Each structure stands twice: as C-alpha cells, then as structure tokens.
Chains A and B, each alone.
Chain A
C-alpha cells in the first residue's frame, strides 16, 4: 500500500467516521444527561435526511430545475437553508418525542430500561411510518453544490468530502465549547453528575433535557444532509445500522464524553474502511469486505474488555 493510497483511504475513513461521530454525539449527550440510550437516534438521523431532502427539492423547484445552471451563491444559499431548516425541524421532532414518549414515563418513575424499550419502539415507528407513507423506493438526494474533484499528489478528493470532514470537526469544537464554557453546558454536566441535588439548586431540569435533545437531534439532521450530499441515496432503513454502530462508537469512546464520541466515531470509520482496503494488499486477499463487521466489532469488543469504561470514560467511584 503506497502512501498515496493510504492517504486516500484515510480521507475516505475520515468522511465515513464523520457520520458515526456526529450521530454518536447525539447518543452521548442524551446519555450524559438522562442515562438513557436513545435508540431512536439513528432514525432521527434518517428523519433529518428526509426533511433535508424535501426542503432541498422544494427550494430547487422554486429557483430552477437543475442545480447545474444555478450561480454558485444560490446553490450555497440553498445548501445553508436546507441545513438550517432541517436542523430546526428535526430538533422539533426530537423534542416532540421526548415530550410525548419519554417525559411522561420519566415522571411516572418507570425503570430506565422501560425508557430504552420505548426509544426502540419510537425508532421502529419512525422507520415504518416513513416506509408506509413515502413508499419503499429509495430517494435520490439532489446535488446541492457542484462536486469538484481535486487531486494532490495522487490523492483525489471532492469538495463535498472536505466540507463533510470540516463541518464535523467544527461542530465538535463548538459543542465542546458549549459544554465547557456556557451556563447551559455547565447545567448539563451538573445533571449528569448528580440528578438529585442539581434540580434543588434551581436548575430547570426539563429545559436542560429539552436543550440536549435539540442539540442531539439537530446534529443528527446535519449528519443526515451530509450523508445525502455524499452518497445521494436515502432509504427508510438508512438509520438502523449506522445508528447502532454509532452507539457502539459512542460507548467505545466513553459514553457521556464528547471527545469520546468523536474518537470512537472516527476509530470505527477507520477500522471499517481499512478492513476493506486491506483486501487489496498482497497477503491479505482473504480479507474480503464481508469481514468488515466481524473485524470492527471484535476490535471494539477487545477495547471494551481492556478498558470497560471506554477510551475517555472515567470510572466513577461508587459510594457505599
């Protein structure tokens, strides 16, 4: 494997890992505050992608029939409007689910695992609502900005790929700042530290939880649109596998930790891309792409066995 090919795969892995990382962030934030594995999150990603698809097609329909003839600033404007619109609406969906399904259960004092099952049910509901109303056919996500291919030293990449990776890293930095530097972030950290004392200190618990769902869902929407722009195919079940895997990435990084979600997501992306890439290296021909899940999950299992709290997770001391 030459250096150029290695860098090429590295770039692909960064893009693929970006999706995992962004979705893992949603898992990890909700988990940090509520200790709830929000299994509906992968489907929120799907909802975000579809909302983005509808907004983009609607906007493109207003201005013209194809993106190719538009001046660049219009297509950029459409992209930004699509992202913002989808983030806002998906955040609405996420908070709505929290209000309708999770909060009443929480207030009734149901066990944590019942919440998890409810989340699973919501996820299935979203998938099949999509399947039954929009049909089983895949949707083609429109090309919002003209794809340009650059090549530097044998490594070729598109502008979309750069935008995806750049946005993911930017989001991560902003989020880390929000959690570390703002009052709302402080409240989130406080709630994850002590759920009994913090509401007594005058922190509005429900408002903070809603804010967490807003952030998590809008990140999933962003990931959905980026996924659509990169691969151009949307289907009703696109969120299932990527959602489960992102959850695993979040746990391996150390659930509840933002850096952990980032590292876990990129790590999973790297392993998956490189298992497939190694198949072309002499001596590793037996390693076909069907081994991807097997290898990646075995590696993750080994990491978890060595470090049970994940890479960045800190074992909390238990008081007896």
Chain B
C-alpha cells in the first residue's frame, strides 16, 4: 500500500503545476517563477553532491550549466528551427517534441565531459585548490564561448524561442515546464539512489577522511570522477532547460561566478548533504528573490544581510545534514524507501 503514496504525491504536483499552466490558471509570471524554481532545484541538488556529500568546494557550477545550455540549444536550433547560421531545420519540426529530451541528454553528457576537466586535477588537490580549479574552469568556459563567433560570441545565442513555438504549434502544452518537472524527478532519483549505493558510501567516506577511505578500499579516483561527472551533467541538464526559457536566448554573461555563487548559497543554506534541504532552500530562495523584487537594487543589500543573520542562528543551514524524513518521521510513509517504511511499521 505504502508504495502508492509517493507516485500519488508526484502525480498530484504534476497535475496541479502542469494542468494549472496549461489551462492558464497560473499566469505566465508564475510559470516563469516555477520554471526558475525547478532549474534551481536541479542545480542545487546536483551541486550538493560535490559540495555537500563529498565535502569538496566547487565554485564553478555555472560553467557546466553554460556548456549544457549551449550544446542543447545549438542542437535544437540546428535540428528544429529556421536559423540564420544553421539554415532551415534539418528534421521536421514535429519531431522536436519527442527529440527534445534527447537534446537535453546530449547537453548533459557534454557538460559531464567538461566535468572531467575538473575531476582529473581533483585527484591531487583538495579543498581550496579545487575551488580555484573550478573557478578557473568557469572563467575558461565563459571566455571560450565569448570567443566563438559562430554561436554569437559575447552577444549570445538566440533561436530557442522558435523551437519552443514550433513545439507549441504541433501540440499546445507547457513543454518546458513538463520537462523541467521530469528533470527534477530524474535528478532527485539519481542523486538519492547514488547516495544510497556503494558509490555514495564512498563519497561520504571521502568527505570524512580521504586517506582513511582509500585504506578502506574505496577507489577514490573512480568515485570522484563519477561524482563530478554526475553533478556536472545534471548542471548541464539545468542549463539546457534554462536556455529554452521565455527569453529564448542565452549569453555568456549569464554564467558568471555570480550565478555559481547563487547556487552555492542555496546549497549551504539548505544544508550540506541534505536533498530535502536543497529543495527547500532552492524553492525558498527563488521565492525570496521574487518577493523582494519591489525593493529594486536594495534587494541585494537585504538578501546578503538576511543570509548572514541566518547563518549566525543556524550555522549548518536549514536542514543540516538531515533529511526531512529524519525531522518528521511520519513522512517516511510517503517518501521513505521500502525498508524504511517496513521498519517504521514494525516499530
């Protein structure tokens, strides 16, 4: 019986969000906020794997997001839309609907390959030196994109709006929100299962003590490569979704250190090593940004102060390293794994 709850909750959310925006009950503003929330959830949960669970300090997540964003949008524009650079669409536009997730996956794979660039130096360096490597990779990615005139250089890359319009012409549905929703589910599923697998235990062992982990026969190199590629790939997925947002345009200026900082803030605000913390803080932070919009420039005076004060009162973030199910055990009946809910039932 208990297995039904989780799909039910997810289905309910899906119906409310997607149905709401399909029937225009949620206006375009709220759809946009929901989209940003979703993208932030993917980014935060994926960065939490490196910065939270593994205890490394990666501050260049926006760089991988940029790779995913550009690869995915170049693919979709090349394949499904009329474009000045790439000419007429290669495939019939109706194919965009089934092939859009394929483009997203290719973008994610490209981002995870760039993630290797970070993973390999991380064998020898740790902590603050890794911070610098990720920082440098972020700059390198941004600078490389700025120097590629074919894809717009510093002006950015446009045309994704036509792809989205083509998809909406074939069948009118909030496609981007649907794929973002699925993206969130996939991200949480992957990270959660990864962390409860043997590799996940290895990741936690590396956080506690890398040398001890090595001695306990954890293949630290392999674990690090997999964790980095996974995290960077999911960032690429978020980037691909982000690029197809309402503006239908990406430019390298979006993917600066400031964007990376935003993601890091959400990770530490939620708590290192807590998926539910990441989700709560990503949603809360996006909402906070929107609520404080009337303040204009003062928004960025108030938000840092709020966060600093919050850090003083809860130095481990909202959730610490606990999950929501640890705080409210009854939630296990919905979200817990099968063994957990059996254990709860037998108590």
Contacts and interface: CB of A to CB of B under 8 A. Distances in A.
Interface of B, helix, strand, loop or mixed by DSSP: helix
The CB with the most chain A CB atoms within 10 A, among B129, B132, B297, B317, is that of: B132
A37 B128 contact: yes
Contacts of B85: none
Interface string B281-305: 0000000000000001111110111
Interface residues of A, number: 49
A247 B120 CA distance: 22
A128 B315 contact: no
Contacts of A310: 129
A29 to B, nearest CB: 15
Interface in B251-305: 257, 261, 264-265, 268, 272, 296-301, 303-305
A294 B304 contact: no
Contacts of A305: 120-121, 124
Given A114-B316, A121-B307, A290 B136 contact: no
Contact of A122 (B125, B154, B308): B308
Interface string A293-320: 1100110110011001110000000101
Contacts of A125: 300-301, 304-305, 308
A124 interface: yes
B132 A113 contact: no
Nearest to B56: A113
Given A113-B268, A116-B57, A320 B140 contact: no
B132 to A, nearest CB: 4
B265 A114 contact: no
A111 B316 contact: yes
Contact of A308 (B129, B154, B257, B264): B129
Interface of A is mostly: helix
Given A114-B268, A300-B136, A105 B312 contact: yes
Contact of A248 (B135, B144, B272, B311): B135
B136 A297 contact: yes
A55 interface: no
Given A131-B297, A304-B129, A308-B121, A114 B140 contact: no
Given A31-B128, A113-B57, A114-B268, A301 B312 contact: no
A112 to B, nearest CB: 9
B150 to A, nearest CB: 14
A240 B135 CA distance: 13
Nearest to A256: B128
A247 B132 contact: yes
Contact of B272 (A113, A292, A304): A113
20 contacts: A109-B315, A113-B268, A113-B272, A114-B311, A116-B57, A118-B311, A120-B264, A121-B305, A124-B303, A124-B304, A128-B298, A248-B135, A290-B147, A291-B147, A293-B142, A294-B143, A301-B136, A301-B137, A304-B136, A308-B129
The 3 closest A-B pairs by CB, nearest first: A110-B315, A128-B300, A125-B304
